[in-house]
Structure 1
């Protein structure tokens, strides 16, 4: 699995330290172990877990770094499930604080266990409905197949910081969903993603409130 992961990282142009690669593989081992009892993910083949989970989520790191550099960020991962992409972000960007929220207790417990076993002190898990959380002041609110774009921004708007943006992981370009966005939300970029070893369309959808002053926002076009 290590060779498959390292090959994928090379194709993504993403350089991680050896200890980060070890953390990603340890996370995958924990996921496989817990999955036998709690059914956290439908993907069970280890090689598929590398491509469908790790590399799929790692594909968002280069765009994230291109927009924000090495800036210490606060990221809210909504409907985090088994920690995708939140755990991967926490490993790939150790300076970033990641809060994973999910309504399923066993999934939040799993993420807490990952944080403890892998020494990810800036990774946190919340068992809650995202709309019930106090405002998180996040620089980025992200999700992976959580909901429609409209529901995603509506449920999480209170958690954006002053210059915060939404970053939604999607499959095919979601033009129909984009047309249903609230009028005060701007979709300002749809970024195609190529996931090594995965023959499927992927994209990253960037959005922000229209009333935000983005002139000083990191990476604002």
Structure 2
């Protein structure tokens, strides 16, 4: 089991009700503005060796999708979403939710770093960074992505990589602070399959002090062609 932390923001007058509801019912629906889903590949080993792999294989509308939520593997990443990204004039109070989930329920959220690295990364500069941030297993997918672009083969390879349990576990353990697209700064980011049952909730709290945002040690733009 891995531990994750999700950061949300809610109206001040609803904080205690929301936190109590999460403790009692768990996380049972995606809700909010940013609705996520996962589409785990049915036969990842077969798809990995498929010579004409494309997004038609990994994003097939006939494959089932499951609702998911975003979460981080550490508190300061989740705190950014609770204090900044998700806060509005109405939802003005940060809430953090710590919970556990099996590695198989998690996928790397690759939209702000990994997909771009697969599509436009310079292998000489990107390989070491990807290994440090996503583990050695990610390179088998990245090398195939860089070698062939037809049919969105590179994107399809990333679709496989984000669901690889070895890649998920390595990214969860990473301490490398990444600067990704749209000004994002994070160590790790995931989508977690819903629902998260009440027994998986470790704690729910509204922090009083905002954690400082970590300084990035690697920028996406530095590894692109």
Q: Identify whether the pair has TM-score above 0.5, normalized to the shorter chain.
A: no
Of the two, which has the highest radius of gyration?
A: 2
Higher RCO (CA 8 Å, separation ≥ 6 residues):
2
Query: What range is the shorter-chain TM-score in?
Result: under 0.3
